[in-house]
Amino acid sequence: MPIPDPRMQQQASSRDVLQNGGAWLEALVRHALIGVAVIDASGLYLSVNPAYCALYGYTESELLGQSFLTVFPPEQRDAVFKRHQQFLREGGELNGEWEVIRRDGRRLQVLSESVAVRGPEGQNHRLVYVLDITARSEMEQTKESSRRMILSVMDALSAHVCVLDEQGFIIKVNQAWREFASQQGADIQRCCEGSNYLQACEQARAQDPAATVLPWTEAQDFVTRLKEVLAGRLDSFQLEYACPSSAGPAWYLARVSRVRGADPMRVVVAHDNVTELKLAQEVLRQREAEWRDLAASLPGALFRFQAGSGRLSHSSTHSTQSAQNAESAQNAEASRPRFVYVSPGIEELIGLKPEQVLGDGRALWRCVLAAEREACKASLRRALKQGQDWECEMQIRTPAGVLKWVHAKASAKRDPDSGAQVWTGVLSDVSARRQAQAALKVSEETFRTFFETVPLGVVYHDRSGRITAANPAAGRILGLEVAQLLGKTPFDPGWHAMREDGSDFPPEQHPAMEALRLGLPVRQVVMGVHTPDGALVWLQAHATPLFKQSELTEVHASFEDITELVRTRQELRRQASTDHLTGAANRRQFMERLQAEYSRIQRKTEISSCVVTLDLDHFKQVNDSLGHAAGDAVLRHVTLLMRLGTRPLDVVARIGGEEFALLLPDTSSEDAFALAERLRLRVEQNPAQYRSAVIPVTVSIGVSPMRWTDGSAETALIRADRAMYAVKNQGRNGVKLGSGDD
């Protein structure tokens, strides 16, 4: 409505109201700390206090005689004025929160209370109290936004997470929790919001101990310790357990912790899938055992020693001889290297058990002949002092009295974990070769034997990445002669490496090139390489940069053939996502692809994609009359027809007993409907065969578009299901497009 023009007589009327209304009204209007105004029946201000003017940014003279609708957004003024008139005419309430506009255009959120007062001539006016609650509203919005963000983050987590109150009731669970409960066949109502998680654990354990996810003893421990957390006697705990599944053994880590500072108390329960970690640990354990066996089978002994941590000091010239001797002994002990590993070959080589050498650092030196001992110790001290490689030949006498020449060679490297300088090397028996003054040649020959006979592929790259040496195992694994490997680089177009997900493996990310670029070891990189005969070989590769006088000179790379392991892993993943009867995607895989497509549509709203659900008509009659084997043949037959009628990028899935679903990316509703009709006709015209029986088949099909406005990925699937069941109710063997209201 239009704002009335100011009228001077209204100011006089305002004075009359205040004079006739009494001093209490004058004091209230002038001295209140919140905004106060008196408005007449026509909507004009009769009185405003300073707090009211300050709230809206006007002076008193600018408001008096003006319409109170000035401070409201234009689109709200008619409705507000009607409520004002109704309040003065009929009474009741005119309170609440309002959005208003200051003189500077800034919008505020205010809380108002209204009271009817009688003017000098008996007419009703409205006395209104106004409080600025903008900050509170913004705070509430921020709090709500934070709450939604936290819930969104929880749903994005792969771990199965729920939040409990102090009584053990579930306040919130994330999407992963719901999906896991559904996959395990758990009662969703008993495991989600509002239910008592502690009672659910105890009831499941009491009713059927074998049906619980946790093993019996671990389930008891979990419940007991969870009670301790809820009672405030324990802050947190974690429990690892095995969980059987159709895809094979799986391991989970349950972690329970109190939320610090939460009032009232909150407890977070999370279950993380640690199957990959457990499998990796088992592979690592097996590999370590293999390397130990290899070390035990090698001639001689492998060893590692670590430099002493003490610092050498010098005695004062005024110290006594005995004090100097004691200090010298302490310095010698502090600087003496300590063996941290010796392979079992030490017993055959020198006659000492590994534990004897590890327990007594001087046991090995006592076997060295006196004539050789000082020279070897001097060479070791130089290596320790300079942090360089150590090499020495020494003549020893075994505890059994056998004389031998032993060649010791160790490479120095800084341990990445402890930061200590360590030397890793080998002790070799070079007695026979010592007579011919060929210790160096013997050492090289020993290394060459190891290099050429080890089952791992081993190659050396120069600083440009070219292969300068390769062992026979490398050629055998890669399907090439050793001579064909020499000179090649990871950039050679013949390699064409790939990752496990099928993407290209960039040559610059090859382990050898990464080691050259970073100057650091690169471990356990999985890559696939095509051999010349077309076979795909999967390798686990390692690369170690080699330095001479602190300059990187080449890279040592090794790799093993893990083709069977990768194929097994891929097959397990395939089985986990594939229906075993028809070969179509299973429900889990379909829902994952559906969620991914929904996320893509959320990012690109112009995309048109569709979901199709299909159910075989009267399928139970096939099973009842011809047997389940005939029913299985029908399911495989329909699956084949669907694959023949769809694109490679479409997803064909069996999501129930005789129910199928199609995900059609980049497909309009019209095209999806046409495809569904073609499929319906193809199934009707091509009956299934089982032995000598010809089995007619028809299908009921529902089609639904996926929309970016859908609340979830499942919304389109639900629409398609409803359309499909509508077809069944209408006589079956048809196609229906589901609308948003179906």
How buried is 93 (Cβ within 10 angstroms: 0-12 exposed, 13-18 middle, 19+ buried)? exposed
Could you read off the pLDDT of 324-381 as tens digits, one per residue?
666 555 555 545 677 888 888 888 888 888 888 888 878 888 889 988 888 888 888 8
Out of 156-165, 444-453, 666-675, 693-702, pick the least confident.
444-453
- The mean predicted confidence, pLDDT, of the chain is 82
Q: Which range has the worst mean pLDDT, 182-186, 495-499, 519-523?
A: 182-186
Q: Which CATH class for the 454-567 domain?
A: alpha beta
User: Is 507:516 a contact under the CB 8 Å cutoff?
Assistant: no
Q: What are phi and psi of 726, to 5 degrees?
A: -65, -40
Position 256 pLDDT exceeds 80: yes
**What is the b/e burial string over 661-693, where b = at least 16 CB atoms within 10 angstroms of the residue's CB?**
bbbbbebebeebbebbeebbeebeeeebebeee
* Residue 411 near residue 424 (C-beta atoms within 8 A): yes
Reduced to 3 states, what is the DSSP secondary structure of residue 544? strand
Q: Is the pLDDT of residue 149 over 80?
A: no
Q: What is the DSSP string of 112-131?
A: EEEEEEE-TTS-EEEEEEEE
Lowest mean pLDDT, pick from 10-14, 111-115, 233-237, 575-579? 10-14
CB–CB of 572/247 below 8 Å? yes
Residue with tokens 């899935």: 653
**What was the pLDDT predicted at 217?**
61
Judge whether residue 632 has pLDDT over 50.
yes
Domain 454-567 and domain 578-737, same fold? Reply is: no
* Helix%, strand%, coil% for the chain, nearest 5: 45, 25, 30
For the sheet containing 651-654, what is the strand order? 651-654, 659-664, 609-616, 699-706, 735-737
pLDDT at 544: 92
Pick the closest to residue 550 from 388, 350, 729, 318 (CA basis): 388
Question: What's the CA angle centered on 127, arms 121 and 130, to 5 degrees?
Answer: 165
Q: Average pLDDT of 124-144?
A: 80
Domain boundaries, the chain: 8-132, 139-273, 283-450, 454-567, 578-737
Cis peptide before 399, with omega less than 30 degrees from 0? no
* Amino acid letter for position 66: Q
Output the CA angle 184-187-188, nearest 5 degrees: 95
Torsion of CA 471, 476, 479, 480, to 10 degrees: 30
Query: How long is the chain?
Result: 742
**pLDDT above 70: residue 142:** no
Per the CB < 8 A criterion, the answer to whether 465 and 446 are in contact is no
Q: When comparing pLDDT for 653 and 576, which is higher?
A: 653
| Superfamily per CATH, domain 283-450 | PAS domain (3.30.450.20)
Neighbour count for residue 616 (Cβ, 10 Å):
22
pLDDT of residue 659: 95
Task: Give domain 8-132's CATH superfamily.
Answer: PAS domain (3.30.450.20)
Helical pair 619-626 and 628-644, crossing angle rounded to 10 deg: 140
How far apart are alpha carbons 592 and 319 in whole angstroms?
A: 79
Tokens of 237: 């705990």
Q: CA-to-CA distance for 589 and 43, rounded, in angstroms?
A: 65
Structure tokens at 681: 């006709």
268 by DSSP, 3-state: which?
strand
* Residue 222: pLDDT band with limits 50, 70, 90: confident
* Nearest Cα to Cα of residue 742 among 613, 618, 628, 632: 613
Per the CB < 8 A criterion, the answer to whether 295 and 345 are in contact is yes
Q: 700, 734 in Cβ contact below 8 A?
A: yes
CA distances from 226 to 17, 67, 125, 172, 238 (A): 69, 64, 63, 17, 10
Answer for the pair 610, 664: CB distance below 8 angstroms, yes or no: yes
Burial letters 407-443, b for 16+ CB under 10 A, else e? bbbbbbbeeeeeeebbbbbbbbbbbebbeeeebeebb
Taking CA atoms, 742 is separated from 709, 726, 729, in Å, by 16, 9, 14
Would you state the pLDDT for residue 291?
62
Q: Looking at the domain covering 139-273, what would its CATH class be?
A: alpha beta
Amino acid at 591: M
pLDDT at 21 over 60: no
pLDDT at 282: 75
Percent of the chain residues topping a pLDDT of 70: 80
239 CA to centre of own chain: 20
3-state SS string for 685-701: HCCEEECCEEECCCEEE
E strand residue ranges, 479-521? none
Give the pair of three-digit tokens for residue 474: 């490398």
With 80 as the cut, is the pLDDT of residue 23 above it? no
The amino acid present at 32, given as its one-letter code, is A
| CATH class (in words) of the domain with range 578-737 | alpha beta
- What are the tens digits of pLDDT across the range 470-513? 988 888 888 888 888 888 888 887 778 888 877 888 888 899 88
Helix (H, G, I), strand (E, B) or coil at 110: strand
pLDDT band at 20 (very low <50, low <70, confident <90, very high): very low
The two structure tokens encoding residue 99: 């959005």
Q: Poorest-confidence range of 52-56, 113-117, 257-261, 654-658?
A: 257-261
Residue 303 and residue 88: Cα distance in Å, rounded?
99
As a whole number of angstroms, the distance between CA 730 and CA 11 comes to 75
Confidence at 26, pLDDT banded by 50, 70, 90: low
Contacts 24+ apart (CB under 8 A), 76-83: 77/1, 78/1, 81/1, 81/43
Q: Where are the alpha helices (DSSP H) in 308-344?
A: 321-335
pLDDT per residue as tens digits for the range 543-561: 999 998 889 989 999 888 8
Range scoring the smallest mean pLDDT among 335-344, 399-408, 659-668 = 335-344
Closest CA to 425 of 438, 414, 412: 412
pLDDT tens-digit series, residues 592-623 = 999 999 999 999 989 999 999 999 999 999 99
pLDDT at position 537 is 87
pLDDT in tens, 705-728: 999 999 999 999 999 999 999 999
- Cβ pair 54, 34 in contact under 8 A: no
Structure tokens at 54: 């300050």
pLDDT at 207: 54
* Residues 470, 459 contacting (CB under 8 angstroms): yes
